[in-house]
Structure 1
Amino acid sequence: MSVWEIEQLVPEMAVPFEEAIAKAPLDLSLWIKYFQAMASSSMEIKIFILNRAVTQFPRCYKFWIVYIDLLIEENIAPSCVIDVFKQSLQLLDSAPILWVKYLTYLVHHQKHQITHIRRTFNDALYHLPITQHHMIWPLYISLADEIGGKFGAITYMKYYQYSTEFELKGGGSITIDMIIQKLFEFGDIENGSNLIQSVTSNINEYLTLPKSPVELWEEFIDLLIDSKKKTVNQDFDNFVEKLVQQGIQKYPDQIGKLYSKLIFYYINRKNFDQVRFHSYKGLQECKTLKDFTLLFDIYTEFEQSLVIKLEEQLDSNPSDTLSKKFEYRIALLEKFIDDRELMINDMKLRQDPNNLDEWLIRVDLFNDTKQKLSAYVKALTTVNPLKAISLSNSATFADLWIKYANVYTSSNDFKTGALIFSKAVKSQFKTPDELAQIYISWSEILLEDGKESESVTTVEDILFSNDSDINYMDTSLTVQLRIHKSVKLWLFYLDLLESLIDEDQDNSKTIDKIMKAYEQMIMLKIVTPRILLNYALFLQEQKYWEKSFSVYELSLRLFSDDKVRFEIWNTYLTRIISYRNNTKSIPVERIRDLFDQCFSQGLPANLNKPICILYSQFEEDQGSIMKSIKVIEDWLLSMTEFNQGSIKGDQNFNISIKLEMYQLLISKLALIQDDTRSRDLYTKMLNDKQFKLAQLITVTLDFVKFEISRNQFNRVRSLFKFITKLGNPEMESIKNVWNQWEKFELEYGNELTFKEMLRYKRVIVKDFENDVVIKESINPMGFVKSKNAITPTENAENPDAIDLDMDM
């Protein structure tokens, strides 16, 4: 700019201000008024005024700001503007607004002078109090992002050093993870790695960050994997591995993802030995099928890619070395794929080493006998017997021992099999029944080996070794202390002894052992009704009839359940009658006393129907038909009383039984041709209030057949009249009755009786129609009735009083 003339700088309108300022040069307000008055003047005049103002008031930052803004607005040479900035900051180095303006100006006008700009930013941070640094950092960081490289890394590290923990942990706009990302982006791997180590060592202190700890961990590993560090450095590799391993320990549910990242890291590094090492290690440590599949697929694809490359090299440059290497890698890949099921089994056993199903699956995966045996040994030494589980409920810990021994016995090595069982019985089990299964299998292989005596002794010794009355369900006691009360083992022992009975030899010792076993079970209080019934049957087979009868009586004393007692009585009475029929050695009165005792002990009438029939048949077989009839009559009386106390659902079933017994009684009366008693019984049945309409129709039609056979046709018509008025003529069952009546009249009646039947039917139909109309007219609820008449159901109850008008 040319030298300004004073006349140009102080126009006529500025003279009064100049004179006033000459008199009061320190009047700040006068200077402000002077500048405002000359606001529309030339640039030179405004600069002239502001230059003198900042000289007069060197610490008035407002004049400096206006002065600098004017210079920038008028595009004054950058060197001049920078000089003014420097002058102002020499006097006002603690004014953040001046620093911001200065730094902004440098960034826009001297970006190529990076060193100068960086030093200026550092000067600003040095001179300003830390509470005002937040005004500088956004511009500094923005410049770092734009320039990047070493400058960017240094800037972010400086920001990390100046920032507070609160800001780095989520309280500021730039958090620690963002700084780490930028450091890796700008190539400062060393500082970035150091910060990663610092954060991961105290990961729980960074919970306030927007990302979860596991997300941070995975992000850091990705940064390391994707870093542009070209030189393979063992320390760096160790750092990556350490970070992955720490992540796996801290977040075991992410084991598949973390191992996959480490594998890809070494793939990028082309360190294939480490790829294989960590792939196998990951597969051996993962505990979910998802993680296993992820790692298995990654490694398979890796090996396939190497095989493809080898194949391409072999095609372009054949050689024996490449060919052997190719075949070797193919063989390894095939074996790896073939071992997939075994590795999955390994993974599932890591999930739960007490999973019996998986151990048995593992054994089946091997074809080699040595491998199977090794798998059994590992299973038996790994599984906790008290924690063993089978999700399919198809296996127990005892099965492992048994199947282990069977590997030897299947090859006729019974000695080794017996040795394994001798060790197995000393193991702990969840229940005594598991231990019982061990003894059973042990005994069976001894029997298969031809050692019958030793087979029996093996079980016998353990069953008779303890007579103490312990609680079989007391889990505080070992199974070895409770095994002598195992019903399962006792039943096997009995079956074993019975299988040794030979009709051509003296079996007295074996029979004594069987009887002793049953008596021991009774003494131990572990017998069931079925066991005692089997005991009685065995005694009968050995011709110990009276002793078998005492077993039945013992059973009746031991068990109180009605259904159980019925089964015992039914078997007892059937057997003793059969014995009497064959030997005639038991008095009739003894059997009658047993029947009376059975009925007197309060068995429900619906249960003892078979016993009643048995008693009745017994009396009939003795020629006492009247006593046979009396037995059924007494039962029917008890059944009536029983039904009155039954719930409705049971009554329907019981009434059906009652009808069957009535019909049986009718058949017996027919044997003695007592028509009078038969008619009385039919009449009694028709007046039985417990019968429903369906039963009444059945009884009536049977009664009709009875009277027809006696040519009592008037009585037949009275029966038809009686039953047809009990139900709606439209019901199927009643229609059938009318049809039966019509057939009767056609066969036995005449024109008059047929017309009388039709007239009676019209009356009945009209009565039911009127009954429906009446019911609809007096409906108190006002419901709209269906056009179809409401009819009684097939099970409608018999009215309290039935007028059976029989023409005698």
Structure 2
Amino acid sequence: MPSAAGPVAVASASAAAKAAATPAVGISPELYPSEDDLPYEEEILREPFKLKGWWRYLVARAAAPFSKRAVIYERALKALPGSYKLWHAYLRERLDHARPHPIDHPAYSSLNNTFERALATMHKMPRIWVLYLTSLLDQRLLTRSRRAFDRALRALPVTQHDRIWPLYLRLASLPACPVETSLRVFRRYLQFDPSHAEDFINFLITANRWQEAADRLASVLNDDGFRSVKGKTRHQLWLELCEILTKHADEVAGLKVDAILRGGIRKFTDEVGKLWTSLADYYVRRGLFEKARDVFEEGVSSVVTVKEFSVVFEAYTQFEQSMLAAKLEAAEEEGAEDEDEGGGRKNGMDKLSKKFLEEFWLNDEDDTDLRMARFERLLDRRPELLSSVLLRQNPHNVEEWHRRVKLFEKDPARQVATYVEAVKTVDPMKAVGKPHTLWVAFAKMYEKHSRLDSAEDIFKRATQVNYKAVDHLASIWCEWAEMELRHSNFDKAIELMRQATAEPSVEVKRRAAAEGNEPVQMKVHKSLKLWSFYVDLEESLGTLDSTRAVYERILDLRIATPQIILNYAYLLEEHRYFEDAFKVYERGVKIFKYPHVKAIWVTYLTKFVQRYKRSKLERARELFHEAVQQAPPDEKKPLYLQWAKLEEDYGLAKRAMNVYDEAVRAVPNSEKMAMYEIYIARAAELFGVPRTRQIYEQAIESGLPDRDVLTMCMKFAELERSLGEIDRSRAIYVHASNYADPNNSDFWKKWNDFEIQHGNEDTFREMLRIKRTVAASRSQTHFILPEYLMQRDQRLNLDEAVDTLKRAGVPEDEMAALERQLAPGPSTAPSAAQSTAPASANRMMSFVSAGVEAQAESSRQQAGNNEDIELPDESDDEEPDVQIAEKSVPAAVFGELGKRAAESQEESSGAQENEQLGALERIKRRRQ
């Protein structure tokens, strides 16, 4: 029965546990289970093949000594030898227990035995292998480690070898590991993962295995599918290979170093200089110095950038310098040995043979001078070599060809060769610069050496080149003609210009159009540069008819410029063909538009007026009218002034005024002010000052800017004041205040001075009121002031006016009259005024009763009005006896009319004198 068997089973398990807990003879008691371990012991006795019981036992005894836990692990692994969890935990604890001890401690031996026992069943577990291999590496057991690595690779599948190989490479990289062992390990690793060939190459370099390193690098570079895991480019790998081949040339065999490096030069153009120097360095290390020199020469002759040239040239100079220094040092050592040996030890035959060998130059070993000359020659060739580099970059660079020619100033033959190469190499369509200058400089060089026939041949060939621009070919023809002029071949120069400007035949044009490529020779006959040079030659060397024919041809081709028109007209004027010159001007003004036609119009009008003056006045007026009609607004002012001058000198003054009036309407706003000033000045001089009034009014109403309107008003007011029209002047000031800025002290100062001199207290007060009004209208903020503040402001302004009049020198009696007008009436008692002043000053706005308001009204009636001004007791019907002072009218008022009146007065009769005097009297009365 279960109920009866249960206690019996429990009792038997308890007895077995106690029996297991009884210590045996010779074993430490702490290794045996204690009373606290009985529950776990009973559980593992009941179920010894279940991991759960053993694991709970280990967790419960986590704080126990390692020796006791090791006993539990050993018992558990004996029952469960295939448990990965138990083995892994056991090995980790053993590792932690052994690490604090030295490597030769017995704990490591026990640890290695435990790993071996674990791998008997755990040989498929990579983590166990990693722990074991790492422990062996830390113990530096190289042979045992290598064998363990081999066993791990054989035991584990290939998919898990990536966990083992990093540790294996670590073993191969240890300094104590034999090189042969490391090489074999790396070779096996490359069979597993060929992409890590760089690691093997780096190891070979550190191990000084240059031959195999070069072979591996070459194989990597030949493999198009290779990708560097370290991010290196193929160019960097090439440089590494070149460095190995050059620096260790004696240790590397079987590779065609020259072919490899030249292949890199062709393939990698950004480090060509370094590859050339590497190739030369390879031959230097092999002892082939002449071959190295040839490589350097080839390098400086083939690089295309200044940077690469600098690298190769610097290495070349260092090579030559080191060779020269070595030769000098060897010569010094040889000389010292000869001195030590002494001359007595040599017999006569030796001396004779040595003398013979020294005299035979092929056996001369002392080539120090040759090396020195070669080094100096290399330094002298640097500008030439650098020029070649720049021309290899762009062979169509014209300026660089000119600079190259200058390098051979002392060698005409080299200059000729350079020019020939330049004109053959430079393509005019791709040229940077002006390709025709090469031909010109080439011809001038022959001219400099008095070879005119060769220079003409060069110019003739240059005219047949298809340039990119017509101006280039035209320059060739002009330079050719100038060369003929320098040697007094005038007819030849004119013939060249005639040939250059000849229009191609219809057949030639048709053939060029059919080919679809029209050369510049088809268009050079329209070159203005050629025609200008041609016409200059005709003016200097030809006749008038030939020169006129050239000018007419220019006009027919429609390539003339305003300067050509002016030159043609000047030529005709010099030969007194004035009407023909004016016809040329007419053609010019019809061909060109503004602004190009401006110079033609000005010259045409000036010459026409100087020529005919008043004889053809109507025609001149038509010309001026046409000129101002064609001119834009900003160009009309000088034409109108010139027209008005014509009317003043040879026409009618009235017409001149009409011209000025038309001008002020036609010119732009920016010039109207200046035009009005001229208009006013001329009107005052011709018709007198009163004639200017309507001009001033017109100017003010014409829409000028406010600043100009204000200036015009001030001038107008000054004019009226000078004529005695005070009221008109004051009205103008009032009108001008609409345009005045309150901060414009000039305007207000002039008005203030005007009122002081010609005004009174009322007009001065009105001026101040207008000034305040303008200031208030221009301000951004408006205030409504209380009444008592407004009254105080008026009193202050009045006091200011009185002070101003006093400073202006107004007599004391007039001052007293003004004060009496401003003072209160005589019926007002001082006491009442004093009593009402504080009341009015302290008055506040509030609700008051009717009785109080009536009382205040009666008090105000008794006090009177302080602001009333007493007027003098004079009748309006009575007029004061005013004495009007007579003043002479200025002569400027009448202008030329006054002069004419004075002249007629001397010749006229007495009746006419009386009539003029009467007119003058009427003018005076009107002015007064």
Contact in 1 for aligned 2:500/2:525 (Cα 8 Å): yes
Tell me how far apart the structure 1 counterparts of residues 149 and 697 of structure 2 sit (CA, whole Å): 123
The question of whether the paired residues in 2 share the 8 Å contact of 1:61 and 1:92 is answered with no
The residue aligned with 2:599 is 567
Match of 1:286 among 300, 303, 306: 303
Secondary structure (helix, strand or coil) at the match of 1:380 reads helix
Post-superposition offset of 1:730: 7.2
Measured against aligned partners, the alpha-carbon deviations of 1:615-639 in whole angstroms (never above 9, x if no partner) come to 44444444x3x2xx24432333333
Residue of structure 2 aligned with 1:635, choices 659, 662, 668 = 659
What pairs with 1:302-701 in structure 2 (closer than 5 Å)?
302-318=319-335, 325-367=367-409, 368-390=411-433, 396-466=434-504, 477-501=518-542, 507=543, 511-559=544-592, 561-580=593-612, 587-599=616-628, 601-604=629-632, 606-622=634-650, 624=651, 626=652, 629-643=653-667, 646=668, 651-667=669-685, 669=686, 674=688, 676-677=690-691, 680-681=694-695, 684=698, 689-690=703-704, 693=707, 697=711
Q: Deviations over 1:53-101 (max 9, x none)?
A: 99xx99999999999x999989599999899969988x99877678778
Deviation per residue, 1:390-427 (Å, 9 max, x gap): 4xxxxx11111111111111222111111111111111
Change (3 A) 1:401 1:122: farther
Question: Does residue 138 of the first structure (1) align with residue 166 of the second (2)?
Answer: yes
User: Higher Cα Rg: structure 1 or 2?
Assistant: 2
- Structure 2: 5+ residue stretches without partners: 1-23, 33-46, 59-65, 99-104, 337-357, 785-925
Instruction: Give, in angstroms, the shift of residue 566 of structure 1.
Output: 3.6
Separation in 1, partners of 2:297, 2:562: 60
Aligned CA distance change for structure 1 residues 121 and 574 (closer, same or farther; 3 Å) = same
The letter for the 1-side match of 2:373 is A
TM-score normalised by length of structure 2: 0.63
Indicate the SS of the match to 1:518.
helix
Shift of 1:436: 0.7
Other structure's SS at 1:607 match: helix
- The corresponding residue for 1:187 is 208
Q: Percent identity?
A: 25
CA separation of 1:298 and 1:183: change in aligned 2, threshold 3 A: same
Distance 1:662 1:258, change over 3 A: farther
Quote how far apart the aligned CAs of 1:576 are.
2.7
Q: 1:209 Cα shift?
A: 4.3
CA distance in 2, matches of 1:459, 1:389: 28
Displacement after TM superposition at 1:363 (Å): 1.5
Can you list the C-alpha shifts for 1:598-651, whole angstroms capped at 9, x where unaligned?
Answer: 44x4434552433334344444444x3x2xx244323333334335xx4xxxx2
Matches within 5 A, 1:60-75: 75=106
Q: How far 1:370 sits from its partner (Å)? A: 1.6
Q: Give, in angstroms, the shift of residue 326 of structure 1.
A: 3.7
The corresponding residue for 2:265 is 248
Indicate conservation of the 8 Å contact 1:433/1:488, yes or no.
yes
AA of the residue aligned to 2:193? S
What secondary structure is seen at the aligned counterpart in 1 of 2:396? coil
Contact 2:210/2:252 (CA < 8 Å) preserved in 1?
no
CA RMSD of aligned residues (A): 5.3
Does the aligned pair in 2 maintain the 1:720–1:737 contact within 8 Å? no
Partner residue of 2:813?
A: none
Partner of 2:781: 779
Kept after mapping to 2: 8 A contact 1:177/1:216: no
* 1:768–1:279 Cα change, 3 Å: farther
Q: CA deviation at 1:381?
A: 1.7
Distance in 1 between residues matched to 2:537 and 2:413, nearest whole Å = 33
Aligned match of 1:766: 768
- Equivalent residue number for residue 793 of structure 1: none
Q: Is the 8 A contact 1:156 1:183 kept in 2?
A: no
Flag the 1:594–1:99 CA change in 2: closer, same or farther, 3 A. closer
Deviation at 1:142, TM superposition (A): 1.8
Does the residue aligned with 2:301 lie in a helix, a strand or coil? helix
User: What is the TM-score with the length of structure 1 in the denominator?
Assistant: 0.71
Question: Take 1:484 and 1:713, find their aligned partners in 2: how far apart are those partners?
Answer: 71
AA paired with 1:636? Y
**Paired residue secondary structure (2:724):** helix
Relative distance call for 1:566 and 1:46 in structure 2 (3 A) is closer
C-alpha distance after superposition, 1:668-694 (max 9, x if no partner): x06xxx565355556655665437655
How many angstroms apart in 1 are the aligned matches of 2:706 and 2:127?
Answer: 107
Rounded to whole Å, the distance in 2 between the matches of 1:111 and 1:128 is 22
Change (3 A) 1:477 1:656: farther
2 CA distance for matches of 1:678 and 1:701? 11
What CA distance in whole angstroms lies between the structure 2 residues aligned with 1:87 and 1:733?
114
Matched, 1:162 2:179: no
CA change 1:70–1:758 in 2 (3 A) is: closer
Q: Supply the AA of the counterpart residue of 1:714.
A: G
Cα distance in 1 between the residues matched to 2:371 and 2:643: 87
The verdict on how the C-alpha distance between 1:533 and 1:476 changes in structure 2, with shifts beyond 3 A counting, is farther
Aligned length: 699
What is the one-letter code of the residue matched to 1:134? D
Letter in 2 for 1:569: W
8 Å CA contact 1:287, 1:351 repeated in 2? yes
2:459 maps to amino acid: F
- Could you give the per-residue CA deviations for residues 362-384 of structure 1, whole angstroms, max 9, x where no partner exists? 11222221222222222222222
User: Could you say if the C-alpha distance between residues 772 and 44 of structure 1 is closer, same or farther in structure 2, counting changes exceeding 3 Å?
Assistant: closer
Q: Which amino acid aligns with 1:512?
A: D
Shift of 1:760: 9.4
Aligned AA for 2:382?
R
Residue type of the partner of 2:190? Answer: Y
CA gap of 1:756–1:157, structure 2 versus 1, over 3 A, is: same
Q: For the residues of structure 1 that align with 2:250 and 2:74, how far apart are their CA atoms?
A: 57
